């Protein structure tokens, strides 16, 4: 496996301020639960958890044993996360979480600068306002980030319907999505 998943700042305090929070969180949940099935480690950050709380209760059960890196930087690429990425020696990063126009954007640009291939899962990112999200996705696309959906990304990582965990990943993807 050459891929690593990055979950950016999906925390309790943001629930009421993020546009389509439940739909975004659903996409993140699919990605986090699929990660072990596609051989992808997950790196998690929390923006200033003393103020914004921890990762949401819906996601925590799927992150047992995964270190959550607290940060004040907007980018996820803190010294701790940078060390973990280098230690894992993965060249592709699949990024999802919030907010698209701040932490996700700055993380993606930092990773591009470091030579990573970066994918952003568009149905697992959001912002406080739809305009912020759409402008961020346009900028990411123009910067060379691969925009994808969780279904497309996971099937691309599987590569073959005969893959060992195909049925398990497929059943995750078929789960009912919250209305955006």
Any idea which residues carry the catalytic annotation?
Answer: 9, 71, 103
Burial of 105 (0-12, 13-18, 19+ CB in 10 A): buried
H or E segment to which residue 14 belongs: none
Q: Say if strands 68-71 and 42-47 run parallel, antiparallel, or are unpaired.
A: parallel
Q: 65 near 28, Cβ under 8 Å?
A: no
Q: Which string of b and e fits 80-101 if b means at least 16 CB within 10 Å?
A: ebeebbeeeebebbbbbbbbbb
């Amino acid at each position: 496996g050459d891929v690593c998943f990055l979950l950016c700042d999906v925390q309790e305090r943001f629930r009421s301020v993020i546009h389509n929070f439940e739909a975004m969180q659903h996409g993140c949940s699919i990605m986090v639960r699929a990660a072990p099935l596609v051989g992808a480690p997950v790196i998690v950050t929390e923006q200033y958890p003393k103020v914004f709380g921890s990762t949401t209760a819906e996601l925590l059960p799927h992150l047992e044993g995964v270190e959550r890196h607290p940060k004040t930087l907007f980018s996820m690429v803190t010294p701790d996360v940078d060390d973990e990425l280098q230690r894992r020696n993965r060249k592709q990063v699949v990024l999802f979480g919030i907010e698209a126009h701040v932490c996700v954007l700055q993380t993606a640009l930092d990773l591009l600068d470091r030579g990573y291939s970066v994918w952003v899962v568009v149905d697992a990112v959001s912002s406080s306002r739809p305009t912020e999200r759409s402008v961020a996705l346009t900028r990411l696309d123009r910067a060379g980030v691969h925009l994808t959906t969780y279904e497309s990304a996971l099937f691309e990582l599987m590569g073959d319907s005969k893959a060992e965990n195909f049925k398990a990943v497929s059943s995750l993807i078929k789960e009912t999505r919250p209305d955006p």
